[in-house]
Every structure is written in structure tokens, then in C-alpha cells.
Amino acid sequence: MENYTMTHTDLWKTTKENLKKTHPQHAFSTWFEPITSIALNNNNLILEVPNQFFFEWIQSHYKKSIQKQTEDAFGGTINIKYTVTPENNESEKEKNQSRAKTYSETPKQKLKNINRHYTFSSFIEGSHNQFAKAAALSTVESLGNKAFNPLVIYGGVGMGKTHLLHAIGNKTITEKPGKTIVCASSEKFTLDFISSIQKNKTVEFSKSYRKADVLLIDDIQFFQGKEQTQEQFFHTFNELFQNGKQIVMTADRYPGEMVGLQDRLLSRFKSGLSVDIQPPDFETRVAIVMEKAEQNGLKLSYDIIELIGTHIKKNIRDIESTIIRLLAHSSLSNTEIDYSLTKKVIKERLGKSAITDLTVEDIVRRVSETTHIKEREIVGASRKMEITEARQISIYLCREILGTPLVSIGMHFGGRDHSTVLHACKVIGSKTKKDHRIGALVGELKNELSFALN
């Protein structure tokens, strides 16, 4: 018999407790914990989910589980309906009023293209991006200052350029109320311009971009070869610059290296400050993995975090993609995320490039972490037994996994000659068969570092 005295809060609380018992912790925290109950009217339970993607995922993967556990808790048949959280659902009245004050003219236009999650506080800083972040912060503090105008942030795909661009927008929104921010990709600028020609609205197009106090343009390299668009952007740039308005752009390379752009445009791009973002180092990659895992509600052990940080090197987007793949694999197979699954996902992500991405430095660092011998000592001249052993293991692994020539290995290890390197390989090769400790240690390291071959 249906339980009509139960409140929606009690019903959903009991349902969640049952779901927690029947699903892995990561699946529960990712897909069930964020759901909240809104109302219970007769046999209708209304649940609120964070976004449309979330709704579609649980409908595809957990609809039956939720239905069953809810009916068990309710004690009868129940109809579950979902609603998606409104985008600005947090303490609504005051926040909307304050937004209306700050954006008295066309508030939606000023907010719609800025990702509110891309802030300076969520930007993970490392030696590879410190200068770019500092320049971006200084730009907000002194909008239009000639030293930072225009600011061009450049670097490879997925390095965090767009994050910094939007962080500038978000900080300006917070700290400089009343400033008009226009944010667009180069493709959007181009499409808007083409559309304005088709509809005979070029004047309106010009006004929509030239009214900006802060103009944020992503991926300016896509202006290459588009002569009319470049012409239009040149005049937009000039008018804003001459009026002391701030211009920030991102690109995949230093402006001086671009081809297919007008010289007068390049000259203006180079007239301000250009800062680059390099690929993140190992420590920063580990920090990024931890941050992205937390954002996705995943609790990963350090050995899994380190495995991802060791092999996913090229950019932050790849790290995020790996985390999402892990989440999808574990959710679909209803299993916990472990070392084996992580290896499988990285293999899928990198394929044959996993080994070519591995370097001598990676191997030395991993041996250092395992043996607790400092990296500089491993590649140094010390002849202490434990240091020599760590050095020989490193040399052996470089030869076995990477196939690096003996002379090249010697160069990495303090300029040792090829006969010394060959001797180290023979010593460890022999010890792996006779010494159980060395055999286990080398086997574990070899398996971890060369997992893509398995």
C-alpha cells in the first residue's frame, strides 16, 4: 500500500540510501548525490537535476535503478518526473537584482558568451603558465593600459588560453561593474559579419562589437585567409584601441609567426604584450588531475592520479577527457575505478603514442620516487651502492622500454660512455633473474612505465 504520509525529503533520502548500497561510491556521488527532491504529490515525485546532460545520462543508465529503489522506499507504484535546475538558481532575488544593476543594458548579451566556471581561482597555476596568469590579472587591474593592450595569450591546444580569457571577463564583471564586455570566438565574429552582410545590417554588427569596454576574442588564427573579416576586425580593433578600450585575444602561436594575416593587423597584435602558455610539468599535471577528479565527484587514489599525470602530458583538455572517459567506463560497467581500468583508458586515449611520449626524464623520476634516491643523484657521479643501483635500474629501463641508443643514455646520465651503460644493462638484466627484490622492483616499474605495450 502506498505511503501517503511520507514527505518528498524522506522518500528521496531513503531512496538514496538504497542506491548507495547498490552502486559503486563514485557512481553514487556523481549521479545520485546531486539530485534533489522538490515535491511529492500523491504518486508523483518531482526531482531536480543539475543540467540537461545529467538528465539524459541518468535516463539512459540509471532510470530503472532509481524507479525500483524509489518504489521500494515508497511502498508502491510512483511516477518520477524531473526538472532541470535553472541556470542562475542561487539565492535568486538578490543575485538577479544585483546583476540587473550591474548590467543595466542588455544583461543577457553581456553574460551569455562568458563561461562562469572559468575563473582565476579555478585556474591551476604552474611554472608553465605563471607569467600568462599574472599578465591576465594585471590587465583587469589596469584596463586599457598600453603596456597590456592588446594582450595576446598564445600556446597549443588545450593549454588554458580560453580559461584565462574568460577569467578576465569574469573578474571584470565582478570588480568593474558597468563595463561592457563582448566575448566571441573568431568564428563567431566571422559568422556575425557574414550574417550582417546577408541581412544588410553591417552598421548594427559594427556597433555590437565597438560598444565594448573589454573585447575578448578567442583563436585569432582563424582570421587567416578571410580578407573581408580581417578588414572589419582591423577597423573594430582601431576604434577600440584609440578610445582606450581593452582588447584581449588568444592564438595558437606567437602573432609574429602567423601567416595569412594582414601586416597591419599583425603589427597591431604585436604592439602590446604577448604571453605564452607551455605544456604543464609533472607536478602541475598531478594537481590538475586531482582538481578535475574532484570537480567530477571522483575519489582517485594517488597511484592512479600519478599514472594519469605521467602519461597524459600534452594539454589540460586531454587530462579532463581522460577523467570523463574513466567516469563513463566505470558507470557503464558498474565497477569501481582502479589501476587496471585507468591503464585501459589511457591506452585508448594515447594508443601507440603512449610509449613515444615517455622520456628518459620520466623514467628517472619514477625510479627516484620508488627508491627514494634523488633524481640529481641518480644522474650524478656518486658511487654509493644504493645510488648506483638506482642509476643502473634507470639505465636498464631506458634501454628496455625506450630502446634509446647507448650513447644517448650515457649523455643523460652524466656523460657516461656506452660501455658503462652496457655494463649497467647486463648487471640489472642478470639481477632480475637471481635477486627477487630487484626482479620485483624492476618488473613493477617496467609494467607501469611500458603498460601500453602489454
* DSSP-assigned states of every residue in 277-299: EPPP-HHHHHHHHHHHHHHTT--
> Residue 392: what pLDDT?
92
> Residue 450: what pLDDT?
64
Same domain, 149 and 257: yes
- Cα–Cα distance measured from residue 105 to residue 303, given in angstroms and rounded to the nearest whole number: 51
Q: Is residue 400 situated within a structural domain? A: yes
Same domain, 212 and 230: yes
What's the chain's Rg over C-alpha atoms? Answer: 28
Mean pLDDT of 135-143: 89
Same domain, 130 and 226: yes
- Report the b/e string of 143-169 with b at 16+ CB within 10 A: bbeeebbbbbbbbeebbbbbbbbbbbb
pLDDT tens, position by position, 14-60:
999 999 888 777 667 777 888 998 888 878 888 988 777 678 778 87
CATH of the domain at 28: 3.30.300.180
> Residue 352: what pLDDT?
52
pLDDT tens, position by position, 167-216:
999 999 888 888 889 998 888 888 888 888 888 888 888 888 888 899 99
- Cα–Cα distance measured from residue 282 to residue 364, given in angstroms and rounded to the nearest whole number: 13
Does 356 score more than 60 pLDDT? no
Q: Is residue 92 situated within a structural domain? A: no
Same domain, 184 and 294: no
> Residue 98: what pLDDT?
34
Does pTM top 0.85 for this prediction?
A: no
What's CA 148's distance to the chain center, in Å?
26
Does 164 score more than 90 pLDDT? yes
Of residues 144 and 425, more confidence is placed in: 425
Of residues 284 and 106, more confidence is placed in: 284
pLDDT tens, position by position, 14-23:
999 999 888 7
Q: What are the angstrom distances between the C-alpha of 53 and each of 72, 118, 360, 389?
A: 27, 19, 42, 52
- How much of the chain, in percent, has pLDDT values that exceed 70? 89
List of residues 6+ apart from 450 with CB closer than 8 A: 355, 358, 400, 401
> Residue 91: what pLDDT?
39
> Residue 354: what pLDDT?
52
- Cα–Cα distance measured from residue 11 to residue 28, given in angstroms and rounded to the nearest whole number: 17
Residue 339 confidence class, pLDDT cut points 50, 70, 90: confident
Q: Is residue 94 situated within a structural domain? A: no
Q: Is residue 314 situated within a structural domain? A: yes
Does 351 score more than 70 pLDDT? no
Q: Is residue 96 situated within a structural domain? A: no
Same domain, 112 and 230: yes
Q: Is residue 91 situated within a structural domain? A: no
What is 338-392 written as a DSSP string?
-HHHHHHHHHHHHTTHHHHH--HHHHHHHHHHHHT--HHHHSS----HHHHHHHH
Q: What is the mean pLDDT of the chain?
A: 81
pLDDT tens, position by position, 113-135:
788 888 898 888 877 888 999 99
Same domain, 314 and 410: no
> Residue 95: what pLDDT?
35
Q: Is residue 223 situated within a structural domain? A: yes
Looking at 107-111, 193-197, 383-387, which range is the least confident one?
107-111
Same domain, 368 and 433: yes
Same domain, 265 and 174: yes
Same domain, 162 and 253: yes
Task: Choose the final residue of a domain: 330, 349, 368.
Answer: 349
Q: How many domains does the chain have?
A: 4
Check: CB of residue 379 under 8 Å from CB of residue 413: yes
Task: Tell which residue, 182, 207, 174, 169, has the closest CA to residue 110.
Answer: 182
Same domain, 319 and 401: no
Q: Is residue 239 situated within a structural domain? A: yes
> Residue 107: what pLDDT?
37
Same domain, 270 and 287: no
Taken as a whole, the chain contains a residue count of 454
Task: Choose the final residue of a domain: 227, 255, 277.
Answer: 277
Range of the domain at 369: 358-453
CATH of the domain at 368: 1.10.1750.10
Of residues 96 and 416, more confidence is placed in: 416
Whose cell is 651502492? That residue is 385
> Residue 270: what pLDDT?
85
Same domain, 162 and 287: no
- How much of the chain, in percent, has pLDDT values that exceed 90? 14
- Cα–Cα distance measured from residue 28 to residue 66, given in angstroms and rounded to the nearest whole number: 11
CATH of the domain at 230: 3.40.50.300
> Residue 249: what pLDDT?
92
CATH of the domain at 310: 1.10.8.60
Task: Choose the final residue of a domain: 305, 326, 349.
Answer: 349
